[in-house]
Chains A and B, each alone.
Chain A
Amino acid sequence: MPVALVRIHIKYHNMLRRLTGVDMQALDLPAGCTVQTALEAISRQYGHHLHEMLFSPNGTVATHLVIFHNGQLTRDDPDGLLLSEGDELMLFPSISGG
């Protein structure tokens, strides 16, 4: 039986953009996927430098990653946050200043 897919969009900024070489991409993921699933998918796609920006050494999503889900800042458990068709994730390194 074919697995149902949802299409989401991911926007990259700052070092994440430099590491991926794109500012935005579409990603097809199995229905029922979470933010964590999405991060794991792009981490596989772009290799270990990106992986280090997204995940802590212990495998959890890095606290220095800022994630916006459909425009809202999310600090919730990325593994508990379900993604739906058309969702947008925006990813930043959590820099601060001015």
Chain B
Amino acid sequence: MFPYLGYAGKWLWVDLTEGKVESRDYDPLLAESYLGGNGFGTRLLWENVGPDVDALSPENWLIFSTGPLCGTVMPNPGRMEVVAKSPLTGIYGDANSGGFLGPELKFAGWDAVVLTGQSPAPVYLAIEDGQATLRDATELWGLTASGTEQEIRRLWGDALVKTAVIGPAGENLVRYAGIQITAQRSAARCGLGAVMGSKRLKALAVRGHGPIRIADPKRLSHLSLELQRRLLANPIFPAVSAHGTPGIVSLMNAMGRFPTQNFKAGGYENADRINADALYSRAFVRNVACFGCPVACDKVYQIPDGPFANTSLRSVEYETLNALGACILNDDLDALLAANRLCDELGLDTISTGRCISFAMELWDEEILNLDDTGGLPLRWGDMSVVLRLLPMIARREGFGNLLAEGVRRMSETIGRGAEQFAMHVKGMEIPGQDGRAQRSMGLAHVTSTRGADHLKAFPTIDETGYPDEGRRRYGADYLPELVQPLATKHKAFLVKDGEDFGAVIDSTGMCKSGGTFVLAEIYWPDIGAAIEATTGMSMSVKLLKEIGERIYNLQRCYDAIHGITRADDRLPRRFSAEPSPTGNARGQTIDIEPMLQEYYRLRGWDATKGWPTPEKLQTLGLGDVAACLWR
């Protein structure tokens, strides 16, 4: 009997080759050492998917995993983690989404769904409380994301069914296909939609009616209300709530941190045409929240007139405004929103999609690509008519789209002719919307992220523009002022490590990084420890919790290490160190990550030559078995 509340205490194991669905008990030791979510997925991946497994083969595992705080009354507890080996990078892969699916899975009585194998024909997994079955998805195959969800809801006669679906991009194994969560949110990165497509799994559909039992309801209720009160009292809560992530577009642009023209620059002269104010006045309809979130950073938008009239969409994020805006020199907001919606329907990660296009546009500019390469499509900066044609071609792997579907690293290898110097990726992952030249910690974060270039593993928010109050509160006055100065390097290795460990825990609990933990920076280690205790009944000191965060992050690094990753891979594209940033607060800046990186290895207790966790470090984290495997 699983001893902890807050969890459902069971997970679903699905062998798609055999068509078998089985219930498994949640291992209490796993919960104590890895919590759930991201940690649960990391451990299962380590144990079951070795270096010889191709990410798109049946042997890869696809793990949907909630955590103990998912679906509770904590602020922003609607997150679900998806973990698998990434077909984009060939290393550890994960993606995370908000919405309502994670809580719904727990209401149905399951903490996680783990899938392996490959179905002979398209199927979807239907979960109605304790009943889970694989159903024929032949009729769903080929449908868009929202089309798939609508059809499942129609078939079930229930508009409240929550889904995770792939669009055509996932079916066609686009290496950065995402998984759409309730159609318009996305577990976007690492190409996990392609893993789903390779298994011929079109969707997960979930309906649950049961309880999530809480160990100490009074304590959790009191704590959650107190945290909510703190969030609402934060002076910038109104700005975050009113505009969500698009609210930072013009600010990051002024910082020189808003990737422009494939990272040639960090500022876009027309950024104000695609910023939060433009978006709000052009298309805002209403605020909508994920499960249990007081911030409600999501909004419904609708284009009122013009060629894209009545296009409605949600979850328009900073990253997309960058990737399909500044980074391709597009200032046509309506066309940007139409492209965003199209990516959602096709099941494409907007970040990687945008980066593949900006990469191709720069190659066109440099005359490395020509009309023969592109099948007659001129790739001029900002030409949205071409972008809107390219998106379905990528999703269906048609013509030039087939090359773009491979991601920036493979594109550069295939194209050759010097394309490599414009390929903006780390470890095969397209770099998201930050620039280390303007914010040192983000440069380091892109490099040390276990899933390749990523801002969300370390998510250093405190020094984006400088949060002295939060910096002092979290780390103490000794770390100021450098800790919160975007261009200082001192203490940034410390900030990144703490963020990675804390982030691993947040992603393992089912909470959100955008509403209080990183953005707003109100909720921190002691709050999460207390919430886990109140929810589960497990005792959870801050020391123990930090150890869990380190354990998860170290294990991810070990997973990368057995896939050949060493410190030689921990580097940024040359552009960041060789080309000074031309605009904004970062004007004239380059970045040298080397000193920060050395400090980072030292703080992590990693071997500075190999960049791997040392056997001693792994021993202290209870990962002796992993050390034996890595350092044999």
Please give the distance in Å from A55's CB to the nearest CB on chain B.
Answer: 11
Stretch from B17-25, B238-246, B416-424, B618-626 that touches the partner: B238-246
Q: Is B36 an interface residue (CB 8 A)?
A: no
Interface centre among A14, A63, A73 (most CB of B within 10 A): A14
C-beta contact mask, B455-473 vs A, less than 8 Å → 1, else 0? 1000001101111110000
Contacts of A98 in B (CB 8 A): 245, 248, 317-319, 322, 432-434, 455
Contacts of A53 in B (CB 8 A): 235
A 71-98 contacts with B by CB, 8 A: 71-73, 75, 90, 92-98
Stretch from B212-220, B249-257, B543-551 that touches the partner: B249-257
A 46-72 contacts with B by CB, 8 A: 52-53, 62-64, 66, 68, 71-72
B residues contacting the other copy or chain, number (CB 8 A):
43
Contacts of B468 in A (CB 8 A): 63, 75
Q: Is B519 an interface residue (CB 8 A)?
A: yes
Q: Is the CB of A73 within 8 A of B255?
A: yes
Q: Is the CB of A15 within 8 A of B514?
A: no
Q: Is the CB of A96 within 8 A of B248?
A: yes
- A66-B465 contact in complex given A13-B251, A96-B519, A98-B248, C-beta closer than 8 Å: yes
B 441-496 contacts with A by CB, 8 A: 455, 461-462, 464-469, 481, 485-486
Q: Contact check: which of B238, B245, B277, B465 meets A13 at CB < 8 Å?
A: B277
Nearest neighbor of B267 in chain A, beta-carbon distance: A71
Nearest neighbor of B244 in chain A, beta-carbon distance: A97
Nearest neighbor of B432 in chain A, beta-carbon distance: A98
Q: Is the CB of B254 within 8 A of A96?
A: no
Q: Is the CB of A62 within 8 A of B235?
A: yes
Contacts of A71 in B (CB 8 A): 254, 584-585, 587
Q: Contact check: which of B251, B485, B486 meets A92 at CB < 8 Å?
A: B251
Q: Is the CB of A14 within 8 A of B519?
A: no
Given pairs A68-B585, A97-B248, 18 additional interface contacts (CB within 8 A):
A13-B277, A18-B242, A23-B277, A53-B235, A63-B469, A64-B236, A64-B469, A66-B465, A66-B466, A71-B587, A73-B585, A94-B466, A95-B243, A96-B465, A96-B467, A97-B514, A97-B519, A98-B434
| A→B interface (CB under 8 Å) | 13-15, 17-18, 23, 52-53, 62-64, 66, 68, 71-73, 75, 90, 92-98
Q: Pick the 3 closest A-B CB pairs, nearest first.
A: A98-B318, A96-B461, A93-B239
| B→A interface (CB under 8 Å) | 235-236, 238-240, 242-243, 245, 247-248, 250-251, 254-255, 272, 275-277, 317-319, 322, 432-434, 455, 461-462, 464-469, 481, 485-486, 514, 518-519, 584-585, 587
